[in-house]
A and B are shown apart, each in its own frame.
Chain A
Amino acid sequence: MRVLGNSRFKRFKGQKNTPIAISIVLIILVILFFISKNKNIGLNQNIRAKSEAVIYSLSTTVSYPVQIIKNGVDSIKDLKNIYSENKQFKSKQFLDSVSFQEMMTLKLKIAEYEKLLNVSKDIDYNFITSRVVADFSKKFNSTLIINAGNKDNVYLDMPVIGSNGLVGRVSSVSNNIARVLLINNINSRSPVNISGNDFQGILIGQGPENPIIQFVDEIERVSIGDLVSSSGKGGIFPPNILIGQIVNKYSNRLEVELFEDFEKLSHVRLIEYEILSES
């Protein structure tokens, strides 16, 4: 039996067209998988969630020498820029302190008005701070990997914000790491407000390009420079988190420049929004 098995194996191995046949079969399988992807979402996510952490660890280990060199080059660049940055910070220091004082005064006023109006506290939230460990924001499927996972109480669809605005939401979680689907990801659709609560629309990611807003009523009344923030509809993102600014206006869509520069993000905040709104 064993000899027969071996000879069959050799015959199979010796076939000239075997690789081409295998390649074509694999290509057909992938195309079929793409066509039926909606039916396999659960399976697809399961495979990803289980293997992502292992693959990420392996890749980080393999690319570690290059990472060291890159860090060295980045440190030299930082040292080079430190003098001019210090000069800039000094000149901005006074302005920043003035804006901070104004901001605090406004915050106190808002708190006072909320108390008077008896506004519910559902937009208060706790957060977890996490470090960005891998940045795929310039790829077509824009994502980030952060070093917080199930063990830190990170859960699926948790909103993620940066220092300047909304970043995205958690799309997969393993024990130690989580993947963040950025708002400019081609699969991302987020309900937004434009210039306060005047207009509403859906922010659609365009990969590395600026995202667009569609389905806006009375689009002609929107102006370039209007602020875009999360609307809170859909229950994933909290309301009134800044996203960006309108930079271009077309007949049926608006182009948005994001406030957050994903490439420069080193840390993000994961908001425990869902838990508080449920309790």
Chain B
Amino acid sequence: MLIKIGKYLMLNLIFLFIISLNVIFTSRIVDCTLIVALIIYVINWGQNDFFVPISIFFWGIYQDILISLPLGYSGLIFLFFYLINYIISIYGVFNYQSIKFAVLIISMSVYCIIRSVYVFLALETQSYIFIELLSLLIMALLFFPINNLYLILQKEYAKVR
């Protein structure tokens, strides 16, 4: 199912809202970047919407400027999860929730390893692995409610049509 314009605008508003929460919430465990990445992963974007990766990248830049991260850092994370989403859609396993969850866990592990290696080698500092794992665990736990909410909304949308 292709994302229609209204729905697409709504999604962008949700992204804006979640990214803006960075101004209020200072917790290290609930990471707004990972929540946006999770939403990107859960949604069925359709396979020929060329503006989707551009807008996702734009939100990454927006977040980087807001919380003073290197420009492109958040965009890279968002696009990584978008690419994973795209790949599982191509291979036709998008609707198998258990496989989708397993792929998410693998992707998160890859992300965690790359991030830890980058932090250790490039920034010459050690990331606190326990907190990192806790924030990833919360992301994994949030998968089911967000995914179920998306599936319910998708069914409602199909009924209306």
Contact = CB atoms under 8 A, between A and B. Distances in A.
Contact of A20 (B17, B20, B83): B83
Interface stretch (A94-102, A115-123, A129-137, A157-165): A129-137
A208 B28 contact: yes
A27 B48 contact: no
Interface centre among A20, A59, A138, A141 (most CB of B within 10 A): A59
Contacts of B20: 58-60, 62-63
A66 B24 contact: yes
A138 B50 contact: no
A239 to B, nearest CB: 27
Given A22-B53, A55-B66, A139-B67, A206 B72 contact: no
A14 B2 CA distance: 12
Contact of B68 (A16, A18, A20, A143): A143
Contacts of B65: 47-48, 51-52, 55
Interface residues of B, number: 44
Contact of B86 (A15, A19, A31, A63): A19
Q: Is the interface of B mostly helix, strand, loop or mixed?
A: helix
B83 A207 contact: no
B42 interface: no
Contacts of B66: 52, 55-56, 59
Contacts of A33: 71-72
Contact of A141 (B24, B52, B69, B128): B69
Interface string A204-234: 1111110000000000000000000000000
Given A13-B48, A20-B83, A27-B79, A66 B21 contact: yes
A207 B125 contact: yes
B147 interface: no
Contacts of B86: 19-20, 23
Nearest to B64: A48
A22 B54 contact: yes
A185 to B, nearest CB: 9
A15 B128 contact: no
A169 interface: no
Contacts of A171: 68
Contacts of A70: 24
Contacts of B142: none
A47 B70 CA distance: 12
A59 B69 CA distance: 16
A208 B17 CA distance: 25
A106 to B, nearest CB: 37
Contacts of A111: none
Contacts of B50: 12-13, 15, 18-19, 22
Given A56-B66, A207-B125, A138 B24 contact: no
A18 B48 contact: yes
Interface centre among B69, B86, B125 (most CB of A within 10 A): B125
Contact of A19 (B16, B47, B80): B47
A30 B57 CA distance: 10
4 tightest A-B CB contacts, nearest first? A30-B72, A59-B20, A63-B20, A62-B20
Interface of B: 16-17, 19-24, 26-28, 45, 47-50, 52-54, 57, 62, 65-73, 75-76, 79-80, 82-83, 86, 119, 123, 125-128, 131
Given A18-B50, A134-B23, 11 more contacts: A19-B47, A27-B76, A30-B76, A48-B71, A59-B22, A63-B21, A63-B23, A139-B67, A141-B70, A207-B127, A209-B126
23 contacts: A12-B50, A14-B48, A16-B47, A19-B48, A19-B50, A20-B86, A23-B79, A23-B83, A26-B53, A30-B72, A34-B72, A47-B71, A55-B65, A58-B20, A62-B17, A63-B24, A66-B21, A66-B24, A67-B24, A138-B27, A141-B70, A171-B68, A206-B126
